[in-house]
Structure 1
Amino acid sequence: MTEWDMSDTAHILDDAEFADGDFVLVSADGVRFRTASYQLLWASHALRDAAAASSANERSITFTDAEIESADILRAFLRFITSGVLPVSRKKMGNPTNGLDRLPRLVRFLEKYQCHTAQRFAMVCVREGLRRGVCSPLCAFVTGATVGDDVTVTAALGADPQTWGASSAAESKALVMSAFKVNPFGDEAKASLEEGDEDAHVLDPSSMPFIAWSQTPGEYIWALSRAWKKARGPDGKGEGDLLWYFEELLRAAKDTSILALTTRQSTRPDSIPSVIGLSTA
């Protein structure tokens, strides 16, 4: 990962919203945020430790992970710890992908930097948003899966299927059709792809939008795919059985993952570098 040179201020832009405070955060894409140190250091154990190693004149941290430490995520983080606001829009209620662009990445940031209280509160807010219809089941499922919060994941799958949303509303067909610039299937098949499946639920793995697939850990996608097939099979009862099948399959997947992790850990070196990708100045 590329680290920004703090001496080269030509590449650093100041955020208009967070412009005051005694602590500086610089995002991986070069945006500078100023905030009150007491709010920041209360929220994060890891950032508190990093701040202790920074300069006494102006404490600052430069982030390097472009995926979860970009300006949009730092802005969402600061809004959440100062105002309790999550990046889910009430104006987009009913859109299955509402919040998917930032919310899962925000909770990953909270987890990475040991914002334990903030992360727990964020997941409570997600479940409450799910109950009130502000947060879609798809967004709640992906967000919960991102940090292994199975309470939120099962709450999402247990929601009324009528609130899940249709795949046709979740993703432009342009992404799918871009894979078929030279269409090998003929005009009839091409028309079918362009129209999409109007009745497909976004929690059907075969119809789930790419933004959800790309952020969901493998064991959750695997369990949902198998559970969906089983629930929709001749012996299943549709969505009514989905949650039960999913929980059993996810448990099996996690048991397998734990076994594999234990095997890997037994052969790994004693010295492991820090996973926190930041530099202090």
Structure 2
Amino acid sequence: MNAIISASELAGLLADPAPERPAGSAAPVLLDVRWQLSTATASGQAPFDGRAAHAAGHLPGAVYVDLDADLAGPPGPAGRHPLPDVEHFGAAMRAAGVREDRPVVVYDGGQGWAAARAWWLLRWAGHPDVRVLDGGIAAWDGPSATGAEEPEPGDFRPRPGALPLLDADGAAALARTGVLLDARAGERYRGEVEPIDPVGGHIPGAVSAPTTENATAAGTLLPAAELADRFKALGVTEGTEVGVYCGSGVSAAHQVLALAVAGVPAALYVGSWSEWSADPGRPVAVGPDPQ
């Protein structure tokens, strides 16, 4: 199953009646995960309000999901966006209408990071059919709705472990035995700047692979063949064990998504640099060289 869906394909699935949908199959549950990393702009503007953006306009039937509240636990030593409590996550997904027997399509404002975090969590928690709207709401030219949605409660019960997960020790080991990709911007990897975490640099042995280079200027993912070539150039060959981290486990989920589109399974280090750098006992490498 492809991990992404185009706006035109989604429009076909949502059509009523939908000729593309096999008889008796259900239309997808839609989740709106619009989110912005920074809590305020340098000019002093108010933080981005995903719920307000959802109320102002969203795909018909889409339910808003809050990344910070529903797709992550409280920030702390385990990172800025650690795994959420499984029971809390399951309750949030049921409240959003997620069912075991219905596919799910998630979207965000276009960057794809937040939607990929929702995709990864649902897949990790055992949902068999989740896709990301390629290009997010910016790619959608169909009908829209306003206000809040009140979905029928779902029945999804998380079964964690369906996708591979790394902790700090596992990430350190993988950097020596396989390929550990650092999805942050190159200057953060090299330690030239660090706007968020206590120290700049990277996990020794990790390879710089900014997530932004997986997408087109329009925000859609590169074709699968181009993604495969990119990861091959970064050392990902057949049989290579691959892991990904970023600042707090959000943009790295998008890299895992891109790898999946390229046909490469990869583990996510959810704690990422925000967890790694919070422990002064862990080594830090700087500069362009992985070591």
TM-score range, shorter chain: under 0.3
TM-score under structure 1 length normalisation? 0.23
Tell me which protein shows more helix as a share of its residues.
Answer: 1
More relative contact order in 1 or in 2 (CA 8 Å, sep 6+)? 2
TM-score under structure 2 length normalisation? 0.22
- Greater C-alpha Rg: 1
